[in-house]
Structure 1
Amino acid sequence: REAVRRWMLSDVPVGCSLSGGLDSSTIVGLLGEMNYSHLKTYSLGFSGQGEAEWDELSLARQVAARWGTEHQEIILEPEELLNDLLQMVWHLDEPYGGGLPSWYVFRLMSKDVKVGLTGSGGDELFGNYGKFLDFERSPLLQATLQYPLMRKAGQSLPPWAWSAWRNAVGKLPDQMLGGRRPRLLELDQFFRVPFGHLYYANQIYFSDRTKREMVFNGAARELDGTALYLQRLCDEAATSDARDKIAYVDFQTQLPEEFLLMTDRFSMAHSLEARVPFLDNKMVELMFRIPSSVRTRPDNLKYLLKKAVADLLPEDIMRARKQGFVIPIKLWLRGPLRPLAERLLSPARLQEQGIFRPTFYGRYVKPHLEEQADYTWQVWAALMFQLWHVVFIEQKAQAAPSYQWKDLAA
């Protein structure tokens, strides 16, 4: 409550992003409890066929109704996203495909207020991410993080032993492995960098080995291993608590380098100051003095937060599964965004560009577009890189583009 109160101090109007998730709903609930008058909230949703899976407007509306906020909504259509993509890329200033709904919520907010509160940081403090589930569900990961001798035992095996292992795994039939072949082939990496390897493999789209062997061409294949970098961060964390090690890595990487960067640049693009009460310094210090086993539980990852705000929020919010503030990219890539993907990720373009292997199209893009496999985020990451390349390398843009992707020469 004190953190939210501190971050509400302002000489200009303040509003709240309300995605319908637990974190942003918590902020609105706390402000409602403190009787802030004329509280303004802003949400985004989708109306197309099959898009209900990504739409949390019904939850956001419950929170807005519970506290009587002045609530506004925007319904995003894929055509509008297409029109704005190049401007988003320019303001981000680097290849990144996350957080796009925030662009539209911030734009809507900026018409009424100059400061906007968001729920960023709640996941990192209270542990509701896939990586925490991986930890809770993987005795092997727990053991390698908590018992260094197990990790050293795997590291002590000679190279020839791992080579023999990979040869054996390579000869086993697919039906026996049940899709686990890539993981088994990289078992040596697991013991060398257990945290980096598992964290990395489950939270990103391409493993280091996949990037070298199947994604990138030429010098791009020589990129430093991300798994090793993450392992070093994990090892330097000044805690023996495995969950806090995960949180430490989050606070060093994904939170500042992705979420906060996106929040800052998208909000500033609309002359809006975004604030993040969950990351109030006193709040963070307090949370990390509380044992992780109290903050989060295997069967209730945001246990402490839910317990603290249970009387402020509708029951549907407390029971809802973790959604994330995302758009229906899986569907839109197969529909309105398909021409863009086919053009910017075509084998001919990739061959000429020389960064991605031309086979990337047949390996990832074509199977996804034709609904033979789900490579949503692999294709989307590559597509956003291509848009960044168009804006900054090919067009050498010095200002936000006034043109749209369809205006570019084929």
Structure 2
Amino acid sequence: MCGLAGFFGPFRRAADDSAEILRKQGLSIALRGPDSDGIWHDDAVGFGVTHRRLSISDLSLAGHQPMASHCGRYILAFNGEIYNHRELRSRLEQEEQGNTWRGHSDTEVLLTCLARWGLDRTLQACVGMFAFALWDRQDRTLTLARDRMGEKPLYWGWQGQTLLFGSELKALRAHPDFQGMIDRDALTLLLRYNYIPAPYSIYRGIRKLPAGHYVVIGVGDRDAMPRPFWDYRNVVRAGLETPFTGTDGQAIDELEARLMTSIQGQRVADVPLGAFLSGGIDSSLVVSLMQRQASQRVNTYAIGFQARDFDEAVHARAVADHLGTDHAELYVTEQDALAIVPELPRIYCEPFADSSQIPTFLVSRMARQHVTVALSGDGGDELFGGYTPYQFMPRLWRWLRMIPAPLRQGIAAMLVPLPAPQRIEKLLTILGATSREDLYLRVRSHWMDTESMILGANEPDSLLRHPDTWRFVKSFEVWMMSLDACGYMPDDILVKVDRAAMANSLETRVPLLDHRVVEFAARLPLSMKIRDGRGKWVLRQLLYRYVPQSLVDRPKAGFAVPLGSWLRGPLREWAEDLLQEPKLRKEGYFDAKRIQEIWQEHLNGRADRSNRLWSILIFQAWLADQ
């Protein structure tokens, strides 16, 4: 796990100028790679790249980046891990005798594959998580690429005549050509989803490279567009066309085999390794399979809260005791959690308003005291039907369809004048749904009227607002899961974990997102994911082979914090400062009067507006930090 950044422009710079710019870019993301740093630049064409290294594989100088290929043609800066690099190295050696290797890093293997096999073959052959920048000295082209499921981040875009790229926006901001104009349209997406989905970013002209894509950019090539090398839509389509036809037991066995292979690859590291353990289905399964493979006790980590309604640590401890892991837990106070809030603009390079970011940071900080790599259970909900909307939304839509649309809209209109606690307000929203896709958009949205809240903005298309490319999916449940796997997971869940972990110089790995597991999950029939009104059926059955059902069967609980009461209590002064009406009017982004009305509703207890307010507060805190 590392960080990279750089620039590509038509202006020739003095070598000292390029080096200083790259030094500043690298320093801005130093926590992503505290072990070493390096730069490489070609001032004749205005190209430069910097790399910050968190040493995981081959801790020697042989793994230093940016790395030049053996032939000298290519320069690589790479963030991530190639889990099958030993297998790829063996294939390279079989194809060509007399290989000379500097060391045993996956970076060197990836670079050699790119030099010998080319981009397409290499991307198809790699198993891992990655974002990389590859400079071709001969053709003078820059290639940017991102892994299949979007585990590793990569921003890119033109600012004037200069192309900027990097692992985080703060590295782009460190370049003197960075313009930093807020994209008001993207801000509408933050209000709707609490995150800004790819390909958008908070800055105009800067984009996220979509998962499973690469882009090749030549000198002055402003028209270069990302291309997919792996498309989750095609994975879902193929799964529907050639579904798994085996028995329940065969499905469980196959899933176990694929997860075992994934975890075996992801356990390889030259530094201490552990796992997050919440006591839920996904993390418990990952830890169970890790412990089965390990010759020693696996290190596991959990945090607990003193408020019993938000404490999951007791469940994690029960699973850890059963599996015999070396378990550590930290009970955090309200003050511990609140102390993180002012740090969020530093941790997250663009506004990000999933409040579970706070406990995610805390558990990452605790784990980093003992290990450098931690495996997590993310991905199970989206791939195997774990979220509760997947179970109740189809029934809700069937019920709504029995009520004529005009009648539904009339009921909604009559309810508008009534006091609006959250449930009534959500009911009003749901009654107005015109299709199953619109219904899910309304359930997932924190704000519906985003354009009226942000001055001079038009909300751009996003997956949930533009679902036409997924019309081939007939099942409502599979449709919801698919869009979440392409949107919510990479743009919320994986962003949350990556930034929280990297702010603590901790690498996280996600075994469930191995593309071979993902492709198998797409082939499983819905009945092996959702059965008897419960999600993740096949994951549960596999877990029961290792952990008693009584230890893990309970209602799903998120990584939540008591945000509503915090905003009325210890965070009130912080929030009121950010939401001052004169401040909002001067900045000119929001409808200041309406925000004040919503803030007062929350303070008075008329409704819990914390989820709505959090996105605005996070933006305001981020803006003040720029």
**TM-score where L is the length of structure 1:** 0.79
Q: Are 1:212 and 2:451 matched, yes or no?
A: yes
Q: Distance in 2 between matches of 1:165 and 1:18?
A: 44
CA distance in 1, matches of 2:371, 2:352: 27
1:15/1:115 contact within 8 Å kept: yes
**Against the structure 1 CA distance between its residues 261 and 141, is the aligned structure 2 distance closer, same or farther, given a 3 Å change threshold?**
farther
Deviations 1:104-152 (A, max 9, x none): 11111112211110111011111121331342322438979xxxxxxxx
Secondary structure, aligned partner of 2:534: coil
* Alpha-carbon distance in structure 2 between the residues aligned to 1:21 and 1:285: 23
Aligned-partner Cα distance in 2 for 1:310–1:40: 21
Q: For residue 148 of structure 1, what is the aligned residue in structure 2?
A: none
Pick aligned residue for 1:8 from 267, 272, 275: 267
Which region of structure 1 is more displaced relative to structure 2, 236-245 or 172-181?
Answer: 172-181
Residue in structure 1 matching 2:379, options 113, 121, 131:
121
| Paired residues for 1:256-267 under 5 Å | 256-267=490-501
- State the alpha-carbon separation in 2 of the partners of residues 66 and 168 from structure 1: 52
Residue 365, structure 1, aligned to residue 604, structure 2: no
Work out whether 1:40 is the aligned partner of 2:299. yes
Against the structure 1 CA distance between its residues 274 and 181, is the aligned structure 2 distance closer, same or farther, given a 3 Å change threshold? Answer: closer
Q: Does 1:248 align with 2:482?
A: yes
Provide, for residues 146-170 of structure 1, a one-character-per-residue CA deviation record: whole Å limited to 9, x for no partner.
xxxxxxx98xxxxxxx7x9967853
Question: Residue type matched to 2:539 in 1?
Answer: L
How far is 1:350 from its partner? 2.1
Whether the aligned pair in 2 keeps the contact of 1:115 and 1:275 (CA below 8 Å) is: yes
Q: Residue 384 of structure 1 aligns with which residue? A: 618
1:111 pairs with 2:369: yes
Deviation at 1:277, TM superposition (A): 0.6
Q: In 2 relative to 1, CA 92–366 (structure 1 residues): closer, same or farther, beyond 3 Å?
A: same
Q: 1:95 aligns with which of 351, 356, 359?
A: 351
Measured against aligned partners, the alpha-carbon deviations of 1:272-295 in whole angstroms (never above 9, x if no partner) come to: 110001111111111111112221
Higher-strand-fraction structure: 2
- Partner deviation per Cα, 1:218-258 (whole Å, 9 max, x = no partner): 213x22365xx414336436533332221221122111111
- How far apart, CA to CA, are the structure 1 residues paired with 2:416 and 2:471? 41
User: Which stretches of structure 1, 4 residues or more, deviate above 4 A after TM superposition?
Assistant: 141-144, 164-169, 171-188
Once residues 252 and 212 of structure 1 are traced to their aligned partners in structure 2, the CA distance between those partners, rounded to angstroms, is: 24
Letter in 2 for 1:112: H
Partner amino acid for 1:96? F
Gaps of 5+ in 1: 145-152, 155-161, 393-410
Provide, for residues 11-42 of structure 1, a one-character-per-residue CA deviation record: whole Å limited to 9, x for no partner: 22111011222211111122223344131111
1:357 to 1:177, Cα distance in 2 relative to 1, 3 A: closer
Per the alignment, residue 197 of structure 1 pairs with 438
Q: Does the aligned pair in 2 maintain the 1:43–1:74 contact within 8 Å?
A: yes
Q: Distance in 2 between matches of 1:166 and 1:243?
A: 25
Using the alignment, how far apart are the partners of 2:560 and 2:469 within structure 1? 32
With over 3 angstroms needed to count, the CA separation of the structure-2 counterparts of 1:327 and 1:169, relative to structure 1, is closer
CA RMSD of aligned residues (A): 3.1
One-letter code aligned to 1:211? T
- The residue matched to 1:43 in structure 2 has which SS? strand
- Structure-2 separation of matches of 1:241 and 1:142: 17
Q: Residues 121 and 173 (structure 1 numbering): CA distance in 2 closer, same or farther, change over 3 Å?
A: closer
Matched-pair identity in %: 29
Instruction: Write the deviation string for residues 337-386 of structure 1: whole angstroms up to 9, x where unpaired.
Output: 12111221232322222222223344322222332321221122221121
| Pick aligned residue for 1:26 from 254, 263, 285 | 285
Preserved contact between residue 391 and residue 534 of structure 2 (Cα < 8 Å): no
Q: How far apart, CA to CA, are the structure 2 residues paired with 1:186 and 1:106? A: 37
Residue in 2 that maps onto 1:157? none
Structure having the higher helix fraction is 1
TM-score by length of 2: 0.53
C-alpha distance in 2 between matches for 1:180 and 1:333: 22
Partner of 2:546: 312
Contact in 1 for aligned 2:564/2:610 (Cα 8 Å): yes
**Map of 2:321 onto structure 1:** 65
Q: Are the counterparts in 2 of residues 195 and 231 from structure 1 also a CA contact under 8 Å? A: no
Which has the larger Rg? 2
Query: How many correspondences in the alignment?
Result: 364
Q: Could you say if the C-alpha distance between residues 10 and 345 of structure 1 is closer, same or farther in structure 2, counting changes exceeding 3 Å? A: same
Match of residue 333 from structure 1: 567
